[in-house]
Amino acid sequence: MYDLDYYENMLRMYSKTAEEICRIRWEFITDFLGIGGKGKSHTILDYGSGVGWFRAWRPRGKNVKVYSFDIASYPQTGLDLQIFDCTCFWDVLEHLPDFKVIEPILALSKHVAISLPIAPDDLSNLKDWKHWKPGEHLHYFTSDSLGALFAEYGFYPLVEKNVECPPRTDIKSFIFRREP
C-alpha cells in the first residue's frame, strides 16, 4: 500500500496542502515547546516521515536539527542520536500494526507530538466516518485511549488541540511529555 508509487503520487498531488499542514505543525510544537528558540539547539525526529515535507519545511534560521525515519525508500537521516527533544508522529500511529516498534524511540524522547484522526463519540456509526479505513487504519483512537497508551510509556499530556482543522477535519494534535 505505501510503496514508491504511493509516495510519488503524494508528492505530485498534495504539496500545497502539505506545506500548510507542516507550517501549522511547526507552529504547534514551537508554541508549546519553545522549539527553535534562541540559544538552544533542538533535535526533532519525524517518525513516519513519508516524503519528508515536515523536515523540508522546518523553520529557517533557527537552531533545529530534524531527523527523519520512514519505512519508505525515500532519503532520510535515520536514527543516530541518543535523545530527541521531540519525536513527531504525524498521521502515523493509526497505521502501526504493533506499538512495540516505537518503544525504543519513545525511550529516546523527551516529548512526543502527534496528529491523528480522533474517533467520534458515537462509535456505533464508526463505519460511516470518513476516517474508517479498514486495512489502512489499524487503530481508532479517542483522546482518552491515546492518553492511556502514552501513559503506559511514561508520558503525560501537555496539549490537545484541533490545530489542523481546517484544512482537515476530525484531526487532533497532541503533545505529551515524559514523566520527570
Domain boundaries, the chain: 4-178
Mean pLDDT confidence for 26-51: 82
pLDDT at position 55: 83
Per-state percent for the chain, helix, strand, coil, to nearest 5 = 35, 25, 40
Is the distance from CB of 150 to CB of 112 less than 8 angstroms? yes
Q: Determine the average pLDDT of the residues in 10-14.
A: 56
Alpha-carbon span 132 to 138, nearest angstrom: 10
% pLDDT > 70, the chain: 83
Phi, psi of 126 (to 5 degrees): -55, -35
Weakest mean pLDDT among 37-46, 74-83, 154-163? 74-83
Q: Which fold has domain 4-178?
A: Rossmann fold (3.40.50)
Q: Which residues, other chains included, contact 151 with Cβ-Cβ below 8 Å and sequence gap of 6+?
A: none
| Residue 125 in this model has a pLDDT that exceeds 90 | no
Which pLDDT score, from 0 to 100, does residue 152 have?
95
Higher pLDDT, 91 or 14: 91
pLDDT band of residue 168 (cuts 50, 70, 90) is confident
pLDDT at 160 over 90: yes
The residue among 86, 41, 45 whose CA lies nearest residue 68 is 45
- Average pLDDT in the 15-31 region? 85
Question: What confidence tens digit (pLDDT) does each residue in 63-100 have?
Answer: 888 888 887 666 566 677 778 999 999 989 998 899 99
Q: Which one, of 58, 53, 68, lies nearest residue 30 by Cα?
A: 58
How large is the average pLDDT for residues 145-159? 95
Decide if pLDDT at 48 tops 70: yes
Contacts 24+ apart (CB under 8 A), 80-85: 81/43, 81/45, 81/108, 82/108, 83/43, 83/108, 83/109, 83/110, 84/43, 84/44, 84/45, 84/108, 84/109, 84/110, 85/33, 85/35, 85/42, 85/43, 85/44, 85/110, 85/111
Question: Which of 179, 137, 142 shows the shortest CA–CA distance to 158?
Answer: 179
> In whole angstroms, what separates CA 125 from the centre of its chain?
26
